[in-house]
């Protein structure tokens, strides 16, 4: 049995993951054309590369279909309930940095903090008869964050496209999304609330607690962790 390692299948996240492993003596590569989701591993025996979308990797780790995986720490925390009972963080990888934030229209001159947002949400519901809508892909993380900070009278609406455009398109009053520079938010006349980010995300190597670990795969894991400089 081999250790199955899930890695993002395309884009900068895949390239940076390949570089990160290569710098530590493990060469990952695509096998075949870009349309084929198969890969190769050199430098260590007993590891099989599985190319998946970053959003699929948390699910595959939790299902035990892959032993290890690289994905954003935000995705694991949002997609997996009680995530730390299903996976273990082995290493933050130092790239793919982004902050999950909440943003409101710049025109809301009196709304700069979470307390301001709570007051605005209550006033919005009193005025319009329905809760203020926050567009996001990150329902679990945002709901927990707002609950912890005492914000009520809102509803989350799902956004799988350009979240920043939902306010302009009148399908939401605020947004919660990942950002690196904030430029897209500013271009859409939005401002980030003055509070800590909901989550500071980066690419992270995870180990599945749910996968079937044999003596062989455990031995391979020990060798791989040693090569990657991860210790015990």
Same fold, 3-97+202-227 and 98-200: yes
CATH of 3-97+202-227, one of 3.40.50.2300, 1.10.3720.10, 3.20.20.100, 3.40.190.10: 3.40.190.10
98 three-class SS: strand
Residue 110 structure tokens: 């009196």
**Which residue in the block uniquely carries the two structure tokens 């890969």?**
39
**Domain residue spans of the chain:** 3-97+202-227, 98-200
Q: Is the pLDDT of residue 36 over 90?
A: no
Q: What does the alpha-carbon distance between residue 93 and residue 7 come to, in Å, rounded to a whole number? A: 13
Return the residue matching tokens 């999950």: 100
d(CA 56, CA 64): 12
**Two structure tokens written together for 209:** 């607690």
pLDDT digits (tens, 9 = 90+) for 118-153: 999 999 999 999 999 999 999 999 999 999 999 999
User: Running DSSP on this structure, what letter comes out for residue 131?
Assistant: P
The closest of 146, 143, 118 to 132, measured between CA atoms, is: 118
- Reported as a single tens digit per residue, the pLDDT across 163-205 is 888 999 899 999 999 999 999 999 999 999 999 999 999 999 9
Q: What is the pLDDT of residues 44-102, one digit of tens each?
A: 999 999 999 999 999 999 999 999 999 999 999 999 999 999 999 999 999 999 999 99
pLDDT at 164: 87
Query: For the domain 98-200, what is the CATH code?
Result: 3.40.190.10
Q: What residues pair up with 173 in beta bridges, in sequence order? A: none
């Amino acid at each position: 049995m081999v250790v199955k390692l899930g890695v993002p299948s395309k884009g900068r996240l895949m390239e940076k993951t390949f570089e990160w492993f290569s710098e530590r003596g493990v060469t990952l590569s695509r096998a075949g054309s870009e349309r084929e989701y198969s890969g190769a591993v050199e430098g260590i025996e007993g590891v099989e590369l599985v190319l998946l979308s970053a959003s699929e990797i948390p699910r595959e780790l939790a299902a035990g279909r892959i032993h290890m995986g690289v994905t954003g720490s935000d995705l694991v925390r949002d997609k997996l309930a009680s995530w730390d009972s299903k996976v273990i963080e082995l290493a933050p990888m130092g790239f793919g940095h982004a902050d999950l934030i909440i943003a409101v229209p710049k025109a809301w001159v009196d709304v700069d903090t979470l307390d301001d947002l709570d007051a605005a949400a209550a006033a919005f519901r009193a005025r319009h008869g329905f809760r203020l809508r926050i567009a996001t892909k990150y329902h679990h993380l945002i709901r927990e964050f707002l609950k912890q900070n005492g914000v009520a009278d809102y509803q989350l609406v799902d956004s799988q496209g350009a979240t920043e455009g939902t306010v302009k398109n009148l399908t939401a009053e605020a947004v919660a999304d990942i950002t690196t520079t904030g430029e897209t938010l500013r271009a859409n006349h939005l401002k980030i609330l003055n509070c800590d980010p909901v989550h500071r995300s980066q690419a992270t190597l995870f180990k599945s607690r749910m996968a079937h670990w044999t003596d062989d795969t455990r031995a391979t894991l020990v060798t791989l962790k040693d090569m990657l400089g991860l210790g015990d």
